[in-house]
Amino acid sequence: MQTRHHAFCLGCVLLIAAITLPAQEIIRNGRSEKKGIVVPAAANSVEKTAADELQYHLQAATGALLPIVSEDSPEAATLDGGYCLGAVRRAESWLNLGDAPACSYKIRLRDGFLFICGQDGQGPETSTQTAAGTLFGVTDYLMHALGVRWVFPGKDGEFIPRHKVVVLDNSLNRDYTPALRYQGARTYRMSNEPDRPEKFRWARRVLHYYVGGAFRFAGRGGHAFETWHLTYAKEHPDWFCLINEKRKVTPSYNMCISNPEFQDEVVRLWHEEQQKTPGQQLLINVKENDNQNRCQCPNCLAWDGPDERGPTGRYAARRNVGERYAHFYRAVQEKAARFDPAAMVGFYAYQTYFFAPRSIKLNPGCFCDLVPDIPFPRTKAHTEWLRQEYQAWKATDATFGLRPNYFLGGYCMPEIWYDEYIDEFKYLLQELQIVGLDVDGPSGMFGTQSLNLYAMGRIAVDPSLTAEQIRREYLEGFGSAAPTVAEYTDFYHRYMKENCDRINKVYADSVANWYAHGFNYGLYAHEIFPPAVLEQGITTLDRGLATLAQSADTAALAKLRFLRQGLEHALASARCSALVMNPKTPTAERDAAVAALRDYRESLPMHLIRKSNLLRSERCWEANLSAKIRRPEKALAVLELPETWKLKLDPQDKGEAAGYMRKDFDASDWQPVSTWRSLELQGHRDYVNAWYRAKFRLGAKKGKSVSLFLGAIDESCKVWVNGQLAGSLVYDAARNPHSWKNPFEIDVTQWVKFEADNDIVIKVINRSGAGGLWKPSFVVLR
């Protein structure tokens, strides 16, 4: 079956050579005589919207309000020039799009009129399922003839240059065929949310948002099996994954994909729905659930190939199951072929099945949505590894789309990496001939990331553009503020490149061991963007604002203020991150800072940030805020122990036999570690047992007892003082489920020495999640 509707080319716009025709003046000095915008007598929703868009922008650019008239109206007969939009009858005989793909359009000058005719759908224009070729043709004209730009959603994001004269000539003639079947950004589709109408309009203008050409699936279109436990758990537990000899029948686990009966049911459900819609091909959805708990049954394991891993925690931490899932896709497709030899399956290349199969071939009837979870900026090694996998996928002969998550990341920081995304998009279009773009998110942080978002849209519309051409387009949208915006964006663009290795190390050392879609960005925002770095950008923008203060270019001032607010918010968020992540910050101060930041966000412009995304990236704060740091009470004296101790990981549990706790043990090769953060936040993992060592000195004897007050131990521990076992903590989820975040205090009076140095050695045992000694600790005299 033919699944690709285009042959790849870097230029999707064809300029049409034509016999030179006299130019047609439409508007001069805000006046227009016998000129208008003609639409079909029964204009569809797209044609009406296209006319409204053209009229609005022409009036803003010239002051002239061209009438919109039906081709059957008496007013249309009086016009001697202007614009004809959509399927007007006067163009039927010579301007026919035939079977051109959805959203294609042609622009031609003839008889004093500029005809803009596109392949349109008949549904409401506000649906992303509705093709809008005529509307996109108008957008093309506005950009290339009038210099219009839309750098972020809403009126303030518009750049509409003033024109005294508007002239039509045949240099505007062009044919356009989309490079992709579909291109969309999920959080910009129309909805009842207050910000959606303007975001949707921005996406129609800049991205040519249209997903009506996307493949249709039987049943749900996302992760396929998340509700199967509700129907099949009782009668078919063997269809669910086997882990530790038990079948797991919740959405938090995967399926037993090698089970033939499970495969049969997948095919049966598809065939049942396909019979109800015989005129439309439905793909079989074999997208695994969104988790990494893979089946361990012998048959599933037998499908696995070599356990080659990739970079970052995303691709290094868990077993490569690429071969296993390729076997599953083929098995389902072959069973479906009994009903339809052209049956197609659809799946993600995601998580540990992002790895391309090497031993099994697929075919064009296997639609693979690529989900590359390595963010920008990328190291050279990461890019090389990804392209190795892309080439291996190409060799499978599957059909591909791009379904990236990396536009979810970046928090609210000025992460500017538009050129790296453009490079990836072009590579995938040229090498793998991707047929569609489905962006998860994007985050919607236009206050700091609008250049990335603008590039996301423009490169999908016109892949022939270079990164520099897109950058220039974007800067033009800021009018007289363009030099300041260029300095500002270039600074953070350089910053990302110069700090690429450091930024990726922050991700690698984080609790997730990878960037995790930016969901943990609140933990390290201040490390990637120290406040001093953000203050430099504010200085640049303030200098530009001062220069423009007396300017008549109020639109440029508004855009520059928007960027200034975006960076000011980023600075406030980075400062809050630093404060929250400092265990010495008093609880009340920390709570107040977070509340103040979130109150401040309520006053910001609609499209500057997206609060729901920010809250998701700050969930890590909530754990920190709820795990209160406590100090000893009712003490004669309190000695605060240092933050930095020495660390030795002990994954083989040999430390006790080796005498790690002895006072005279040689710990010269132990590494420094913070006791104010978990081990995972410092890049340590897969240890189970971790040994901490420190010294403290007591002065003259005071009081009756000495105790060791450990801020928090996650999960269990043993404690030695001066080589003697002083006590232990055993985590018991049933009896004390919160012990991992509360202080642990033991009496060490009989083991300490006054007016002398004392040694503390702690063995931490942690079997799941983050762990270690992770809050400030004290010696307490009572």
Q: What is the pLDDT of residues 660-699, one digit of tens each?
A: 999 999 999 999 998 988 888 777 877 999 999 999 999 9
**Residue matched to tokens 């009126």:** 155
What's the average model confidence in pLDDT over 435-460? 97
pLDDT of residue 53: 99
**pLDDT at 5 exceeding the cut of 50:** no
Instruction: Give 250's pLDDT tier (boundaries 50, 70, 90).
Output: confident
Average pLDDT, the chain: 93
Q: For residue 546, give every residue at least 6 positions away whose Cβ sits within 8 Å of its Cβ, in sequence order, or none.
A: none
pLDDT of residue 633: 79
Strands (E) located in 483-630: none
**Residue matched to tokens 């868990």:** 318
**Residue matched to tokens 């509340």:** 595
Task: For residue 155, give the DSSP letter.
Answer: G
Q: Are 119 and 177 in contact (CB under 8 A)?
A: no
Helices 446-461, 196-206: axis angle to 10 degrees equals: 40
Distance CA 349, CA 354 (A): 4
What's the average model confidence in pLDDT over 296-316? 96
Q: Are 312 and 507 in contact (CB under 8 A)?
A: yes
pLDDT of residue 735: 87
Helical segments of 101-247, H only: 133-146, 196-206, 228-232
Q: Are 189 and 120 in contact (CB under 8 A)?
A: no
**pLDDT at 244 exceeding the cut of 90:** no
Rounded to whole angstroms, what are the CA distances from 115 to 28, 194, 354, 759?
Answer: 20, 35, 46, 86
Listed residue (647, 635, 720) closest to 677, CA to CA: 647
Listed residue (764, 758, 718, 716) closest to 740, CA to CA: 716
**Residue matched to tokens 């016009």:** 79
pLDDT of residue 349: 98
pLDDT in tens, 589-600: 888 999 999 999
Q: Which long-range contacts (CB under 8 A, 24 or more apart) does 270-275 make?
A: 270/218, 270/219, 270/336, 270/343, 271/336, 271/339, 273/218, 273/219, 274/218, 274/339, 274/340
Listed residue (426, 354, 422) closest to 390, CA to CA: 354
Q: Write out the two tokens for 304.
A: 């696995």
Q: Are 148 and 159 in contact (CB under 8 A)?
A: yes
Distance CA 190, CA 450 (A): 20
pLDDT of residue 14: 62
Distance CA 70, CA 68 (A): 7
Per the omega criterion (within 30 degrees of 0), is the bond before 743 cis? no
With residue 380 as reference, give the H or E element that holds it.
helix 380-394
Instruction: Give 299's pLDDT tier (boundaries 50, 70, 90).
Output: very high
- φ/ψ of residue 418, rounded to 5: -50, -40
Instruction: Give 627's pLDDT tier (boundaries 50, 70, 90).
Output: very low
Q: Which of 65-74, 337-346, 504-513 has the lowest mean pLDDT?
A: 504-513
What's the average model confidence in pLDDT over 289-310? 95
Rounded to whole angstroms, what are the CA distances from 762 to 354, 660, 728, 729?
Answer: 40, 9, 9, 11
Count CB neighbours of 23 within 10 A: 13
**pLDDT at 2 exceeding the cut of 50:** no
Longest dimension (CA), the chain: 106
Residue 767 or residue 473, greater confidence: 473
**pLDDT at 20 exceeding the cut of 80:** no
pLDDT of residue 770: 83
**Residue matched to tokens 């933050």:** 643
**pLDDT at 622 exceeding the cut of 70:** no
Instruction: Give 1's pLDDT tier (boundaries 50, 70, 90).
Output: very low
**What's the Rg (C-alpha) of the chain?**
31
Q: Is 656 helix (H, G, I), strand (E, B) or coil?
A: helix
**pLDDT at 371 exceeding the cut of 50:** yes
Percent of the chain with pLDDT over 70: 96
What's the average model confidence in pLDDT over 9-34? 73
Q: Are 265 and 239 in contact (CB under 8 A)?
A: yes
Q: Write out the two tokens for 195.
A: 């910000």
What's the average model confidence in pLDDT over 693-709? 92
pLDDT of residue 9: 42
pLDDT of residue 647: 96
Q: Which domains does the chain have, with CATH numbers?
A: 13-206 (3.30.379.10), 216-403 (no CATH), 492-531+564-626 (no CATH), 637-781 (2.60.120.260)
Helical segments of 499-530, H only: 500-509, 521-528
Q: Are 229 and 263 in contact (CB under 8 A)?
A: no
**pLDDT at 67 exceeding the cut of 90:** yes
Q: Is 431 helix (H, G, I), strand (E, B) or coil?
A: helix
Listed residue (223, 4, 13) closest to 103, CA to CA: 13
pLDDT of residue 741: 86
Q: Are 292 and 318 in contact (CB under 8 A)?
A: yes
Percent of the chain with pLDDT over 90: 82
Q: Are 668 and 633 in contact (CB under 8 A)?
A: no
Distance CA 518, CA 82 (A): 49
**pLDDT at 149 exceeding the cut of 60:** yes
Q: Which of 4-13, 84-93, 617-626 has the lowest mean pLDDT?
A: 4-13
pLDDT in tens, 24-66: 999 999 999 999 999 999 999 999 999 999 999 999 999 999 9
Distance CA 196, CA 189 (A): 7
Q: Are 257 and 295 in contact (CB under 8 A)?
A: yes
**pLDDT at 16 exceeding the cut of 60:** no
Instruction: Give 629's pLDDT tier (boundaries 50, 70, 90).
Output: low
Count CB neighbours of 547 within 10 A: 14
Distance CA 702, CA 131 (A): 82
What's the average model confidence in pLDDT over 770-777? 90
Instruction: Give 88's pLDDT tier (boundaries 50, 70, 90).
Output: very high
Distance CA 637, CA 8 (A): 75
Strand partners, 242: 247
pLDDT of residue 628: 53
Distance CA 151, CA 158 (A): 7
pLDDT of residue 756: 93
What's the average model confidence in pLDDT over 705-729? 95
Question: What pTM does this model have?
Answer: 0.85
pLDDT of residue 8: 36
**pLDDT at 3 exceeding the cut of 90:** no
CA angle 592-679-310, nearest 5°? 115
- φ/ψ of residue 551, rounded to 5: -75, 150
Convert 701-747 into a string of H (helix), E (strand) and C (coil): CCCCCEEEEECCEECEEEEEECCEEEEEECCCCCCCCCHHHCCEEEE
How many Cα neighbours within 13 Å face the side chain of 249?
Answer: 14
Q: Are 528 and 120 in contact (CB under 8 A)?
A: no
